[in-house]
Structure 1
Amino acid sequence: MDLESDEEFFCELVINGIGGRTIAEAKANISYPELKIWRAYRAKRGSLFFGRRLEQSFGRYHADYVAMKTGKEVDVYKFMTHEDAPETSFEEERMKAIKKKSQ
């Protein structure tokens, strides 16, 4: 079963004890304005789930270690089994932001 982004978001809220103990409770207890705030927070700061943040940290560390030992560029997402690689790189996003500021 594939989760839609809305279902996945509510799963993450419930896992972290936000809104209730079930997805149905969270949907009933969280107002739309509060939901928008949580979505904005997650978009800015990343996952709410500590285990996922931990996996990201270890994945970055492991990729840096392998890159240092081999002298080759390493794809960090190979070490993060539950992460999807973004469609654009961080550098591309940064260059877009710089262009917007300069206009």
Structure 2
Amino acid sequence: MLNRIGGSTIAEAKERLTHREVLDWIAYREKYGTLDQNRRMERHFALLTHLTSRIAGGKMDLSDFMVYSQAQVTISLEEAMATWQ
């Protein structure tokens, strides 16, 4: 759970972390972003790719290079069935 902050499970974290520590971790996440190393690496590589693209004259946004951080697109059942045919 949360990169093992407070323990391996929610129950362990509730037992080990004080309310103040939880607030400190929330403040840390708001300031520095996610604790997930994969998402942090994705952002770094996306930034590098975005800058390289801009130098080469590209018009793409940073979010275009962040595949796993993009919002999920929701479609209706009818739209899904139409794509399967």
Normalised by the size of structure 2, how large is the TM-score?
0.69
Q: Does 1:74 align with 2:47?
A: no
State the structure with more CA Rg: 2
1:47-58 aligned at under 5 Å gives the runs 47-58=34-45
1:32 counterpart (19, 41, 47): 19
Instruction: Report the count of equivalent residues.
Output: 71
1:53-100, CA deviations, whole angstroms, 9 ceiling, x for partnerless residues? 11100011111112222x133210111123258xxxxxxxxxxxxxxx
Match of 1:64 in 2: 51
Structure 1's unaligned 5+ residue stretches are 1-13, 86-103
| Separation in 1, partners of 2:37, 2:23 | 21
The alpha-carbon deviation at position 52 of structure 1 amounts to 1.4
Match of 2:7 in 1: 20
* Percent of residue pairs bearing the same amino acid type: 38
SS in 1 for 2:31: helix
Normalised by the size of structure 1, how large is the TM-score?
0.59
The structure-2 alpha-carbon separation of the partners of 1:84 and 1:40, relative to structure 1 and needing over 3 Å to count, comes to farther
Which structure exhibits the higher relative contact order, with contacts defined as CA atoms closer than 8 Å and separated by 6 or more residues?
A: 2
